[in-house]
Amino acid sequence: MQEHTEHAHHAGHTGHVRWATAAQATLHCLTGCAIGEVLGMVIGTALGWGNLPTMVLAIALAFFFGYTLTLRSIRKAGVDFRTAFRVALAADTLSIAVMELIDNGLIALWPGAMDATLADALFWGTLTLSLAVAFIVTTPVNKWLIGRGKGHAVVHQYHH
């Protein structure tokens, strides 16, 4: 409950936001992104798709699952779908975009990672490392957003 109180306190103005609060918001984002990213990479790789279509699918699914997790929590608070959808878009778009840029950028730049198969340790190792780095880079972004009453601060206005 303390995290919810802190988010609500910062929802309407700039102010000090604890790193733990930003990390928790980023972890929430990472969960949806990781589900979509892993699922997309696994599907594309298993189907023998090329790098570009696999990456596009992984990114699309990362956004889908990221938004879906937020949408689910807002809808639980009794918010109508249209409002909840707009809140999810406003709360998560920048965070997911940064996370996906870092995650996919590292995978694309890592030698051999784009050609690794599901049975290769390189596939799973690069994916894990890229998600960890994306978490580290995205946490300050979420801290900045929450401190300005945006990002997950908006989501927590709807929690009771």
Tens-place pLDDT, residues 105-121: 999 999 999 888 888 99
Measured CA to CA, the distance from residue 72 to residue 57 in angstroms comes to: 22
Gap between the Cα atoms of 75 and 73, Å rounded: 6
pLDDT band at residue 158, thresholds of 50, 70 and 90? Answer: low
pLDDT higher at 16 or 154: 16
Give the span between the Cα atoms of 94 and 80, in whole angstroms.
23
Determine the residue type at 146: I
Around 132, how many Cα atoms within 13 Å sit in the side-chain half-sphere?
A: 6
- What is the pTM (predicted TM-score) of this model? 0.82
